[in-house]
């Protein structure tokens, strides 16, 4: 038997078919199979974690009901948008009761959050440190959700920018942001 160009081309085609099949058919399919296996392992891990959590909870329905009750309690502490002024009035009453004088209040734009809005107020007040401490305690006990952040507390040296009289010992100047959370009127 003799090998010529025709046989050589035929032999080349015979070798090219399996190589091309591997490169264009089998290799991509194997990559898809490997990816599917990785996804199955990940999903099985998540299912195992879920099964472990469910096994720790005796009654899943009761746990869901408790969670919903907790959400309702928190939502009950969110006032409606029209009730925010009443909360502000209570906050200023608490400040007055504790001999704190409010120097300035600057309202900022309400910030939307998940199901509620946050109204940040930049507040500057002065008074006895003990009064400010008592103000914070009473503020914490309000039935509504409020938050004090970016608190800066300084010893107050004078009553005003033009006054040379020093304040009594124990006086402080507090600058902070008071956030009041409320339900928007459209919900």
Residue by residue, DSSP assigns 74-85 as: HHHTSPBGGGHH
- CATH code of domain 81-182: 3.30.70.60
The model's confidence at residue 161, banded by pLDDT at 50, 70 and 90, is: low
Identify whether the C-beta of residue 80 lies closer than 8 Å to the C-beta of residue 183. Answer: yes
The model's confidence at residue 49, banded by pLDDT at 50, 70 and 90, is: very high
Average pLDDT over residues 145-173: 71
Please state, in angstroms and rounded to a whole number, the distance separating the CA atoms of residues 170 and 66.
46
Q: Delimit the domains of the chain by residue range.
A: 5-56, 81-182
Residue 38: its H or E element: helix 27-56
Q: Is 151 helix (H, G, I), strand (E, B) or coil?
A: strand
Identify whether the C-beta of residue 85 lies closer than 8 Å to the C-beta of residue 106. Answer: no
Q: Is 185 helix (H, G, I), strand (E, B) or coil?
A: coil
The model's confidence at residue 82, banded by pLDDT at 50, 70 and 90, is: low
Tally of CB atoms within 10 A around 102:
15
For 93-136, the pLDDT digits (tens) are 888 888 888 888 887 888 887 677 788 889 888 888 888 889 88
Average pLDDT over residues 128-156: 84
Confidence check: pLDDT of 159 > 60: no
Range 5-37 burial, b when 16+ CB lie within 10 A, else e: eeeeeeeeeeeeeeeeeeeeeeeeeeeeeeeee
């Amino acid at each position: 038997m003799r090998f010529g160009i025709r046989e050589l081309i035929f032999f080349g085609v015979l070798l090219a078919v399996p190589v091309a099949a591997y490169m264009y058919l089998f290799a991509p399919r194997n990559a898809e199979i490997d990816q599917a296996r990785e996804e199955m392992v990940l999903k099985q891990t998540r299912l195992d974690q879920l099964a472990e959590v469910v096994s720790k909870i005796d009654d899943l329905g009761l746990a869901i009901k408790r969670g919903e009750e907790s959400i309702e309690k928190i939502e009950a502490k969110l006032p409606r948008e029209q009730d925010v002024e009443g909360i502000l009035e209570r906050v200023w009453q608490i400040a007055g009761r504790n001999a704190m004088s409010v120097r300035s209040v600057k309202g900022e734009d309400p910030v939307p959050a998940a199901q509620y809005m946050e109204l940040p107020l930049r507040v500057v007040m002065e008074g006895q440190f003990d009064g400010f401490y008592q103000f914070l305690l009473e503020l914490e006990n309000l039935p509504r959700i409020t938050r004090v952040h970016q608190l800066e507390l300084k010893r107050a040296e004078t009553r005003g920018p033009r006054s040379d009289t020093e304040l009594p010992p124990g006086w402080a100047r507090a600058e902070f942001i008071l956030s009041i959370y409320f339900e928007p009127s459209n919900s």
